[in-house]
Amino acid sequence: MTELKNDRYLRALYKQPVDCTPVWMMRQAGRYLPEYRELRAQAGDFLSLCKNAELACEVTMQPLRRFDLDAAILFSDILTIPDAMGLGLYFETGEGPKFSRPITCKADVDKIGIPDPEGELQYVMNAVRTIRRELNGDVPLIGFSGSPWTLATYMVEGGTSKAFTKIKKMMYAEPQTLHALLDKLADSVISYLNAQIKAGAQSVMVFDTWGGVLTPRDYNDFSLQYMQKIVDGLIRENDGRRVPVTLFTKNAGMWLERIAATGCDGVGLDWTINIADAKARIGDKVALQGNMDPSMLYASPERIRQEVATILEGFGESTGHVFNLGHGIHLDVPPENAGAFIDAVHELSRPYHD
Ligand code: CP3
Q: How far is the CA of 27 from the centre of ligand 1 (A)?
A: 7
The verdict on the CB of residue 207 being under 6 Å from ligand 1 is yes
Whether the CB-CB separation of 263 and 232 falls below 8 Å is answered with: yes
- Which residues is 288 bridged to in the sheet? 267, 321
- Give 181's contacts (C-beta < 8 A, 6+ positions apart): 103, 109, 148, 152, 155, 156
CA geometry: angle 267, 320, 131, nearest 5 deg? 70
Nearest CA to ligand 1 atom 42: 30
Residue 344 CB burial class (10 angstroms; 0-12, 13-18, ≥19): buried
Give yes or no for residue 160 CB within 6 A of ligand 1.
yes
Residue-wise pLDDT for 280-326, tens only, equals 999 999 999 999 999 999 999 999 999 999 999 999 999 999 999 99
Which residues have a catalytic role annotated?
27, 31, 40, 77, 154
Q: Which of 192, 97, 200 is nearest to 144 (CA)?
A: 192
CA of 78 to the centre of ligand 1 (A): 7
Say yes or no: CB of residue 157 within 6 Å of ligand 1. Answer: no
Q: Number of C-alpha atoms within 13 angstroms, CB side, residue 210?
A: 21
Q: Which residue has its alpha carbon closest to ligand 1 atom 32?
A: 96
Which pLDDT belongs to residue 70? 98
Give tens-digit pLDDT for 21-30: 999 999 999 9
3-state secondary structure (DSSP) of residue 238: strand
209 Cβ closer than 6 Å to some ligand 1 atom = yes
Specify the pLDDT at position 174. 98
Q: Which DSSP letter does residue 254 get?
A: G
Contacts of 61 (CB under 8 A, 6+ apart): 72, 131, 134, 135
How high is the pLDDT of residue 110?
98
Distance 325 CA to ligand 1 centre (A): 15
What is the amino acid identity at position 158? G
Find out whether the beta carbon of 147 lies less than 6 Å from any atom of ligand 1. Answer: no
Binding-site residues for substrate: 27-31, 77, 154, 209, 327
Atom of ligand 1 nearest to the CA of 144: 12
Tell me the backbone φ, ψ of residue 269, rounded to 5 degrees.
Answer: -115, 135
Residues of the chain with pLDDT under 70: none
| Tens digit of each residue's pLDDT (9 = 90 or more) over 171-211 | 999 999 999 999 999 999 999 999 999 999 999 999 999 99
331 CA to middle of ligand 1, Å? 11
Say whether pTM exceeds 0.80. Answer: yes
Reported ipTM: 0.94
In the prediction, which pLDDT does 168 show? 98
